[in-house]
Amino acid sequence: MTRGVAGELRHYLGPTSYSLAESRALLASAGELKKSPLRTDLAGKTVGLIFFNPSLRTRSSMTVGAFQLGGQALTLDVGVGTWKLEHRDNWVMDGDAAEHIKDAARVLSRYVDILAIRAFPERRGWGEDRLDPIIKAFARWSEVPVINLESSLYHPCQSLADLMTIEERLGSATGQPLVITWAYHPKPLPMAVPNSILLEAAKFGMDVRLAHPEGWELDDEVMTEAARLAEGAGGKLTVHHDLEAALPGARVVYAKSWGSIRYYRDPDEEARLKAPLRQRWRVGSHHLAQGDDAVFMHCLPVRRGVVVDDDVLDGPRNAAYDEAENRLHVQKALMLQLLSENAK
Ligand code: CP
């Protein structure tokens, strides 16, 4: 599929890479693939999976997905059995990294038909991380389509699977009240998941209620974009610093912890400030009961007894395993769509 200039290719880098109509088409295709999983469209093709960070669901679902479409996956763990990679332009590479993404992406493009990348933030600073430099370097230099498997800013395969799950449970997502709540976690986790469900749900015109303690605001530009999408889709976006205030009538309670941008370079101070929030910002069945037959969602992995109570995860309102399964179906739909569009 070599096109010469990587910029001509269609990639899937974030929730706004695809319009609402295109996302709806992917969900329709994913629904068909859920009913009839086996195809031969990827016969003779290889999907390259590049992991800078660990994974259970993403690695498994992409590998199984490629196989079920008749192809195969090639998985590389960066720095483990392969070279450490540099992404900075015009960088004198006298540190740990032995190879530049510019070279790795061009070479891998000669072997594989899609490149899918997981690269969490490097935490040198939010100003740098929010630019998503690693995934963007792959998109710039790859000669095959690139899929974001979670970057600093976005986890768009997750949010697409989330919308599939919401529509399976509720019918149409449009207008439905969704609470996205921060939860306590001992580590300052990435913001890719809350950013992505926020944008995807806004795009689908949901009544999005974002709940978090003061000091854990999401990125300003993401919030502005979510408000623009919500307005365009006839939805709503409200922010609450009290979880209880966001819950009345909620159909979905989506829990996720994330680190504070304000204390990005000072995790010890963040840990000190969030310690008293531990009990109040853990999701329990009493929270679901304040909604309207609300389901619980989480991208997983999740810390039981820290982020959410056991009885929620082990109970009938838990949709997290459906979200995990739906990763398989939406990613297969995405691989088929990207190969089809980029072959034109
Ligand atoms: N939700 C998700 O991406 O899970 P993994 O980190 O296990 O891939």
Domain count, the chain: 2
Mean pLDDT of the chain: 96
Phi, psi angles (nearest 5°) of residue 295:
-100, 155
**Contact 331 CB / ligand 1 (< 6 Å):** no
Same domain, 30 and 167: no
Give the helix ranges, DSSP H, for the chain. 20-35, 57-68, 101-108, 126-129, 133-141, 156-170, 192-203, 220-233, 243-246, 267-274, 285-289, 310-313, 320-343
Q: pLDDT tens digit string along 170-227?
A: 999 999 999 999 999 999 999 999 999 999 999 999 999 999 999 999 999 999 999 9
Residue 2 has pLDDT above 50, yes or no: no
Give the position, in ligand 1's atom list, of the atom nearest the Cα of 53. 6
Taking each helix axis from N to C terminus, what angle separates 20-35 and 320-343, rounded to the nearest 10 degrees? 110
Are residues 275 and 330 both part of a single domain?
no
Same structural domain for residues 164 and 148? no
What is the whole-number distance in angstroms between the Cα of residue 118 and the centre of ligand 1?
10
CB 99 within 8 A of CB 86: yes
d(CA 62, CA 39): 15
If you search the block for the tokens 């192809």, which residue do you land on? 71
Average confidence (pLDDT) over 119-124: 94
Q: Is there a single domain that holds both residue 233 and residue 209?
A: yes
- 321 — phi, psi (to 5°)? -75, -30
In a mutational test of the pocket of ligand 1, which residue from 51, 53, 56, 185 has the highest number of ligand atoms less than 8 Å from its CB? 56
Q: Examine the pLDDT at 38 and tell me if it is beyond 50.
A: yes
Quickly state the pLDDT bin for 106 (edges 50, 70, 90).
very high
C-alpha to C-alpha distances, 25 to 18, 62, 170, nearest whole angstrom: 10, 20, 18
Q: Which pLDDT score is estimated for 8?
A: 82
CB of 56 sitting under 6 A from ligand 1: yes
Site to substitute for ligand 1 among 49, 155, 299, 303, most atoms within 8 A of C-beta? 299
Is residue 199 classed as helix, strand or coil in its secondary structure?
Answer: helix
Atom of ligand 1 nearest to the CA of 59: 8
Per-residue confidence band for 4, with pLDDT thresholds at 50, 70 and 90: very low
Distance 132 CA to ligand 1 centre (A): 18
| Cβ neighbour number for residue 218 with a 10 Å cutoff | 19
Predicted model pTM: 0.96
Q: How far apart are CA 240 and CA 246, in angstroms?
A: 6
Q: How far is the CA of 258 from the centre of ligand 1 (A)?
A: 15
Q: Ligand 1: distance of its center to the CA of 324 in Å?
A: 8
| Residues 193 and 307 placed together within one structural domain of the fold | yes
290 within ligand 1 shell (Cβ under 6 A): no
Mean pLDDT value across residues 87-91: 94
User: For the domain that residue 213 is a member of, what is the CATH number?
Assistant: 3.40.50.1370
Please name the residue whose Cα sits nearest to atom 4 of ligand 1: 57
Ligand 1 midpoint to CA 57 (Å): 5
Question: Which structural domain range is residue 62 located in?
Answer: 5-154+326-341
* Residue 229 scores a pLDDT above 60: yes
Is the pLDDT reported for residue 163 higher than 90?
A: yes
In terms of domains, do 136 and 108 share one?
yes
Q: How far is the CA of 302 from the centre of ligand 1 (A)?
A: 10
Question: In the structure, what pLDDT confidence band is assigned to residue 246 with cuts at 50, 70 and 90?
Answer: very high
Does the pLDDT value for residue 5 go beyond 60?
no
Using the atom order of ligand 1, give the atom closest to the CA of residue 61. 8
**Are 76 and 191 found together in one domain?**
no
Tokens of 74: 């090639």
Mean pLDDT of the 111-127 span: 96
Q: For residue 242, what pLDDT is reported? A: 97
Residues 305 and 235 in one domain: yes
HEC profile of 279-314: CCCCECHHHHHCCCCCEEECCCCCCECCCECHHHHC
* CA 41/CA 312 separation, integer angstroms: 39
Question: Is 280 in the same domain as 301?
Answer: yes
**Residue 80 scores a pLDDT above 90:** yes
Same domain, 204 and 229: yes
pLDDT at 152 over 80: yes
Considering the domain architecture, whether residues 30 and 134 belong to the same structural domain is answered as yes
Name the closest-CA residue to atom 1, ligand 1: 299
- 283-331 pLDDT, tens digit per residue, is 999 999 999 999 999 999 999 999 999 999 999 999 999 999 999 999 9
Residue 253 has pLDDT above 60, yes or no: yes
Give yes or no: residues 192 and 319 share one domain: yes
